[in-house]
Amino acid sequence: MGISVSNLACERGSTRILEGVDFDVPDGQALILRGPNGAGKTTLLRCLAGLTPPAGGTLTHDTDDVAYAAHADGLKAQLTAGENLRFWARVYGSGDIAPAADAFRLHDLVDRPAQYLSAGQKRRLALARLTLTNRPIWCLDEPTVSLDAQNVGRFADAVRAHMAGGGVALIATHIDLGLDTARVLDISQFTASADGTEHDPFLDEALS
Amino acid sequence: MSIWKYANPKKFMETSGWLLPYVTVSAVVCLCVGLVWGFFFTPDDFRQGSTVKIIYLHVPSALMAINAWLMMLVASLVWLVRRHHVSALAAKAAAPVGVTMTLIALATGAIWGEPLWGTYWAWDPRLTSFLILFLFYLGYMALWEAIEDPDTAADLTSVLCLVGSVFALLSRYAVNFWNQGLHQGASLSLDKEKNVADVFYHPLLVSIAGFVLLFLALVLLRTRTEIRARRLKALLRREQTA
Amino acid sequence: MIPVLQRDLALAVKGGGGFGLGLAFFLIIVVLVPFGVGPQSELLSRIAPGILWVGALLSCLLSLDRIFQLDFEDGSLDLLATSPLPLETLALAKAAAHWLTTGLPLTLAAPILGLLLSLPTSAVFWLVLTLAIGTPALSLIGAFGAALTVGLKRGGLLLSILVLPLYIPTLIFGAEVVRRGADGLATATPLLFLGGITAGALAILPFATAAAVRINLR
């Protein structure tokens, strides 16, 4: 299974951000995506998750195998942490939320409305959702934002457990997660040449 | 040789640039001939007097009001299926022309209605349908204006145009059902034995041709403007990101 | 579909605001009309079917922008779009939740508000029946409009301009049935048309709504 991408091009709005993206991540492996702000990490992850259609190239994986986690936590402030988790468990057809809550030490918080959680607690709640999806490919966009060192460790454990089960993880992050086997890929090498506008059909000189 | 060739902005600009003067001149000629002939060289109607002559503006504009929407529908479908930028921009360009035609049809209808029915406005099914069509045009144009990214705007307005067409058609029948109306039957129709009398009919055909050509000329011109505006936007973005 | 429906209902109940606001708006419209046209009950009774239908339609409009906007802002729409739930089903669930929190309460409250406008008793049954049949179409059309404007910062006014013309056929047939019912005329034809619109909207609009959401998330 795994994930294999060849010559992928991604656009944001109508501007080409990335092109010629090539990488393979076999089962049980993780790939850390690095690159300066605006390099296109989010664009790439949204494309891999099937939210943005690729502008070129091929993806071998089924986007229905991807569990995506964005910058935003996607939590409902009026619902409790437990209700939030249970909602996603039902959407994904997975049973008990206890293991997911355990992995991120959320059991004391399950009855607390999400609006009274701290930023780090919300993040943990959002990450706990991933383990409920039972999907083999994780595409994570800056998952460790607002997490303290201890919880970064718990998150790394969750990723390791996911990989041990044959899962794949693509993680855009700037910090060291302590995942020894993970490969690091600098995506700034795939930045679309020049300014990313030469694919614009309206830049043809003959139009002037 | 395929029609899709013209979907390329460059090819479209070349062809439309060459075509535009001819279309414009023939539109002006047809309109002048049709309207002068209709206004000054046809007899007055025995009941309506000279008011009947507004038909040479009313009928062609009403026709084009509907045809402009149909053209937008086809262009939207082409954009959704084949993703040709010119098609989306042509749909965008046609909307203000269509809404103007709708307004002309409504205004001339009101002016014609006053001597005939004794009122500028009646909730007659035909008039009401045009008012509804006007609202649909407004929504369509407002959506184009509101969305920043041109491709997203093209996609969303195309979906709106498709759904809107279904509901516009539905409204047409709903309105018919709602009020039977005062409006005379269609002035022109293919399945009728006899349309309006020949003396009125021939100049009317010429003004209709004039309106069709005028619409074509305006849409070509506006599509060219839209293409240039897109080019300007792309150039500016290249400047900013370089 | 059921989890989303239940979540949206729970949010509507807990979130205050949305739920009940439409109902209050409906009440206010109905109270304002006699101030505008005068208290003569024969006049009110004649225009009551129209006022009640227009009022229900405007009240429906009030909560439309929340259908997708809140989920878009907090990021759950992205997550729902990547979940096993097809967006078409999501669109249907969202419209259903909107109807249960807006259309259904309006339908149930309409007879009481009809009293204020001296709605003839013979028309009450038809009013409730047409609102029950027609308001689902209003929610489905509204969800489509909400999907079109979900990416916009201030889409509320635009949403009204897009959606109101689409409401015209539903309004015409709905109010027509009530008018005919009040006069004791045959109602079958407009009633069937009204049902047809709702059935057609149910069949087609979730696809258009899903397409619009997909485009906006790109």
Interface membership of A94 toward C (CB under 8 Å):
no
* CB C139, CB C97: distance < 8 Å: no
Q: Which chains touch C (3 or more CB pairs under 8 A)?
A: A, B
**Candidate from B105-119, C74-88, C168-182 with smallest mean pLDDT:** B105-119
Q: Which pLDDT tens digit goes with each residue over C131-142?
A: 999 999 999 999
Cβ-based contacts of B79 with chain A (< 8 Å): none
* CB A166, CB A136: distance < 8 Å: yes
Interface membership of A164 toward B (CB under 8 Å):
no
Interface membership of B153 toward C (CB under 8 Å):
no
* CB B91, CB B79: distance < 8 Å: yes
CA distance A174 to A68: 18
Q: Residue B53 carries which DSSP code?
A: G
Residue B176 burial (CB < 10 Å; 0-12/13-18/19+)? middle
Q: What Rg, from alpha-carbon coordinates, does chain C have? A: 18
Interface membership of A74 toward C (CB under 8 Å):
yes
- Backbone dihedral angles phi then psi of residue C107, each to the nearest 5 degrees: -60, -45
Residue A206 in domain: no
Residue A204 in domain: no
Domain count, chain C: 1
Run of H or E including B156: helix B150-178
pLDDT at C91: 95
Run of H or E including A50: none
> Which of C7, C10, C12, C146 shows the shortest CA–CA distance to C76?
C7
Question: Cβ of A195 and B238 within 8 Å?
Answer: yes
CA distance C138 to C61: 8
For the segment C30-39, the average pLDDT, to the nearest whole number, is 92
What is the layout of strands, in order, in the sheet containing A66-69? A66-69, A137-141, A168-172, A30-34, A183-186
CA distance C55 to C49: 10
* CB C143, CB C209: distance < 8 Å: yes
The amino acid present at C214, given as its one-letter code, is R
| Of the partner residues B139, B163, B168, the one whose CB lies closest to the CB of residue C144 | B163
pLDDT at A87: 92
Residue A32 in domain: yes
Residue B118 burial (CB < 10 Å; 0-12/13-18/19+)? exposed
For the segment A36-45, the average pLDDT, to the nearest whole number, is 88
pLDDT at B182: 57
Interface membership of C215 toward B (CB under 8 Å):
yes
* CB C131, CB C106: distance < 8 Å: yes
Alpha helices in B41-124 (DSSP H): 55-82, 85-117
> Which of B175, B195, B165, B186 shows the shortest CA–CA distance to B62?
B186
Question: Cβ of A202 and B85 within 8 Å?
Answer: yes
Residue range of the domain that includes C58: 2-217
Domain count, chain A: 1
Say how many CB pairs under 8 Å bridge A and C: 67
Q: Which pLDDT tens digit goes with each residue over A145-201?
A: 888 888 898 899 999 999 998 889 999 988 888 887 788 888 888 887 755 456 677
pLDDT at B135: 95
Cβ-based contacts of C82 with chain A (< 8 Å): 49-51, 63, 66-68
Q: Which two tokens stand for residue C155?
A: 């889409």
pLDDT at B114: 83
In total, chain A counts a number of residues equal to: 208
HEC letters along B194-214: CCCCHHHHHHHHHHHHHHHHH
Q: Which pLDDT tens digit goes with each residue over A55-105?
A: 888 888 888 889 999 888 888 888 899 899 999 999 988 878 888 888 888
The amino acid present at A50, given as its one-letter code, is G
Residue range of the domain that includes A160: 3-199
Q: Which residues is A34 bridged to in the sheet? A: A186
Cβ-based contacts of A79 with chain C (< 8 Å): 7, 10-11, 14
Nearest-CA residue of chain A relative to B224? A207
Using the predicted structure, report yes or no on whether residue B33 has a pLDDT greater than 60: yes
